[in-house]
Structure 1
Amino acid sequence: MEPAPGWESDKQIQSGYTAHVPDRPGCTDKQTQLEAELRSRLVELSAEVAVHPYWATLDAGDVVDARMALKKSEREALAR
C-alpha cells in the first residue's frame, strides 16, 4: 500500500456530514513482504482446494452446493 494523503469531503447539504479520511502512511518493507507471502499461500491453497479429487466424486449440479456448504462451515467455525 502506497502512502497517500488524507482528504475531507464537502459538507453534505441535507445532513451536514463531512467525511474525513486520515493520511495513510503506507506499508513497511516487512509488511509488503508478508502480504506477498500470504497472497502466494492463498493462491496455493485455493488451487489445492479447486483441483481436489473430492469434487470429481460429485455430480455436476452438486458441486456448487458442496462448495457453498464448505464456505458456510468455515464461516461458522470462525464465528465460534
Structure 2
Amino acid sequence: MTFDYPADLRALQKDLFETRARLQDLLKTLPYSVEPITSWRRPEGYWLPSARPYPDSPGWSEQDQKEVTALRERERDLAEAILVHPFWTELDASDRPKARSHLKHAVDHANDES
C-alpha cells in the first residue's frame, strides 16, 4: 500500500529528521554532564563499589543549554505538527499506523532520488 503524502507533511518529516540529527551531533560534542561534576571513586571497604571514573565535566555553557533546549522544542513542535496534520483524517483509522510508519521511509526514499 502506498500513500500520497502532501508536500508539507513530507517537509515536516524531513525537518524533524534534520533537527534530530543536529541535536544528536550537538550532544556528542558536549560534556557528559550538564552541571559541573568532578570524578570520584568510593574508597575500599564499602560493601558496594561505586565510582564516576570519567574525567571531570566542566558542565554545559549557558549557550549550549539554550541550543539544546531550542532544538528539543523544535523537535517537539515538528512531531506535534506531523501528528495533527489534516492528512491523517483522510485515511481510514486502520490505515493510519501504517501510513505514519511509511512516512518516515517515504522521506528517506525521496532524499535518495534527489
TM-score (structure 2 length as normaliser): 0.48
What is the deviation of 1:5?
A: 3.3
- Structure 2 distance, partners of 1:4, 1:65, is 45
Query: One-letter code of the match for 2:93?
Result: A
Equivalences for residues 30-45 of structure 1 within 5 A: 30-45=63-78
What is the deviation of 1:4?
A: 2.9
Query: One-letter code of the match for 2:67?
Result: L
What is the deviation of 1:22?
A: 3.5
- Structure 2 distance, partners of 1:75, 1:7, is 44
Gaps of 5+ in 1: 9-19
RMSD: 3.0
TM-score (structure 1 length as normaliser): 0.65
> Between the two proteins, what is the percent identity of the paired residues?
35
Gaps of 5+ in 2: 1-33, 42-52
Aligned length: 70
